Every structure is written in structure tokens, then in C-alpha cells.
Amino acid sequence: MSTQLDGARGVAAAIGGVQACRRALAGLTPQVVAIVAVLLFARVTGATVENLVVAAHDNRLGDWFKSLFVSFGLLLLMAVPMLIGVTATANLGPRRGLPRFASLVVAVLASSLSGLLLRMVVGNRLLLDGAPPLHIILTYLWPRYALLCGMMTIAAEFYRREIASVEAMQRAELEKAALEREMAEARLQGLQAQIEPHFLFNTLANVRRLYDKSHRAGAAMLDNLMRYLEVALPRMRENTTTLERDSELIEAFLRVQQVRMGPRLAFSVDIPAALRAYPVPPMMLLTLVENAIKHGLNPSLSGGLVRVSARREGERLILSVADTGVGFSPGSGVGTGLANIRARLAAQFDDRADLALANNELGGVTATLTLPIASGAAAR
């Protein structure tokens, strides 16, 4: 049992060590190593290019290439502790201010010295050269490579800060978009809450007036109102509905109004079966129907017809409510219901949706609601 526990602890320790190494070396990608290698190769080539002409003249190009790649290999070897030391310090050390600056300076000095010593040890074994005097190492070679390492660290720090700034801007944009979306949804709910009582109170007032004239008609209207509310109430707070559910709501509402108006109101709801599954904003069509009755048919002694229809044009859904009422009158098109519809369209669809009102050939008004069709919303 203890052996199993020791094995589990060993595995956990190994996993923890791997994760710690990943955190320490985060950002030390193959691309970064490749860039450093290219820079070092360019430096070695630039330092030895003067010897290329001499080597070519003396037929010693092989020796020149050998010296080039040995020097390049030794520089790469020296860069390993520099990259590891500076990267680990940048990832695990202080994040900002003077402590970060001090830790990076120490990392640059220590890693450049360790890289220089490693290069000298391996170079001595490969080239059998003697080590330079200690004062040369401390006063010339170490500061030289420490300066190179420091310049690369400064460039990396500027790059890190630029990346952090870009990421912060992206996060701020995402948070702003999320906040705007939440505010738009809150505005939509507020506007919808204004619309709902608008026609409910009107209908209840009509029920009361009808009861004063005829109890039988008032009871019939109240019965139809209850059926309407059974359909409407579960959907009033939904953000979207479908044309099928909206048409059911409209028909229930029109039956309520038909009890009140009698033969003065005729209606038809023509929604093709292929379009009934398309999503639409809730209550908008109903508001247009109520508007047609209130401003088109009610002022007319003979009443008229309300016709609700839908069609598709390309990637747009065209919904219309036409009446045969009295047509436009001064102030038409600026009521609360229409203003709320326009505000909801702007908040939900920007400029991709529209509400237009126009006189029709039958003497009434046609309200046309144009909505974008969401991709994949329904089968083509």
C-alpha cells in the first residue's frame, strides 16, 4: 500500500514539475527560437565574411564553413541558458515595476555569464583552445554578451507589453459588446412591457363597455379574451417567437375584437405553411393589427377588413397588415405602439429591419414589416 502511495506521489510530483516548467517557459515557442537562431547566424556570418575571400583564395573554403558552423553552434549553446533564464524570470518573477526590472537585470547578468562559461567549456573541448584570462572574461566578454542579452530582453518586454495591451483592448471590446447586448435586451423588454398593457387595457375597457350594452355579448367577448390570454401570456416575455405562434395570437385577438365590432370587422390571416416556422420578434404583428383596428376601422362607420400576410423575398421576410379603413390622418404613424416597434427593430436589427406605412388602393393603410432572415432559421 505504501509503495502505491509513494508511486502516486511521484507521479503527482512529476506532473507538477511538468506544469511548472510549462509556466516558466511559456512564450518560448519554436518561432522565438528560430528568430534567435537566425539573428545569431547573421551575426556569425557577418563576423567571418571577411575571411571568406582569403579562404577562397587559399582553397580553404571547407575550413571556413567548419569554423562558421562551429561558431554558430557555440553561440546557440550560449543562448540556451540565456533564453531559459530570462524567460523563466519574466514568467515567474514580479509582474511590474522596479522589482521586475531588478529581477530581469539579475537574470540577464547570471544567464549571460553561465552561457559564456558553457560556451568556453565546450569550445575548449572542440577547438582545444585555451581559456582567455579572467580579466578578459569579466571586463570584455561578459559585458559584451550581457549587453546583447539585455537588448533582446528589452525587445521581448516591449513585445510582451504590446501583446498585453492588445489583449486588454480585445477583452474590453468583448465586455463592451456584451454590455451593449445586455442593455439592448433590457430595452427590448422595457419596450415590450409598454406594448403589452397598451392593448390589454384597451380590450378590458371594451369588455366593460360591451357589458353595459349586452351581457351576452360581454360574456362572449370575455370568453374570447380568456382564450386569447391563454395563448398570449406564456409568450409575452419571450425574446423571439415564430410566425405560427404569432398568427395564433393574432387570430385570438381578432376574435375578441370581432365580438365587440360584430359585422364591422372581417379578417384573414394568410401565412404560408413554408414560412410559419420562421422566428420573428413577439407582439409586433399584433401591435400593427391593433393599430389597424384602432386608427383604420374604428373611425369608419362600416368598419372593414384586416388582412395579415407574409412572404419571402430573398433573405428578407416581408410581413404586412393591410386594412380597408379610413387611411392616413394627421398624426398617423407616430403613436406609442409604432414608435416602440421602430425602437425594438433598431435595438435588435440595427438598420437591417424596417417598418413602413403607406395608403393602399382600397382606401386604407398597409403596414409593412421587413425583417432579416436568420441563417439556418428554417428550411429553404
The pLDDT tens digits for 86-139 are 888 888 888 888 888 888 888 888 888 888 888 887 877 665 556 677 777 778
Buried-exposed string 121-146: b where 16+ CB fall within 10 A, e elsewhere? eebeeeeeeeeeeeeebeeebbeebb
Give 363: exposed, middle or buried? Use CB within 10 Å, 0-12, 13-18, 19+.
Answer: middle
Using CA of residue 202, residue 268, residue 225, residue 287, what is the dihedral sign? negative
Amino acid code (one letter) for 59 = N
pTM above 0.85? no
Element (H, E) at 365: strand 365-372
Percent of the chain at pLDDT above 90?
Answer: 15
- Confidence band of 380 (pLDDT split at 50, 70, 90): very low
* pLDDT tens-digit readout, 150-186: 888 888 788 778 877 888 888 888 777 666 666 555 5
In tens, the pLDDT along 270-282 reads 999 999 999 998 8
CB 315 within 8 A of CB 373: yes
Nearest to 328 by CA among 357, 288, 368: 357
188, 284 contact by CB (below 8 A): no
Q: Say if CB 337 and CB 290 are below 8 A apart.
A: yes
- For residues 375 and 315, what is the distance between their CA atoms, to the nearest angstrom? 9
* Separation between Cα atoms, residue 341 and residue 287, nearest integer Å: 8
Q: Provide the phi-psi class of 108: left if phi over 0, else alpha when psi is between -120 and 50, else beta.
A: alpha
Phi, psi of 60 (to 5 degrees): -125, 40
Residue that is written with C-alpha cell 518586454 in the block: 157
Q: Mean per-residue pLDDT for 62-70? A: 80
Q: What's residue 61's pLDDT?
A: 78
- CA-wise closest residue to 33 among 68, 83, 86: 83
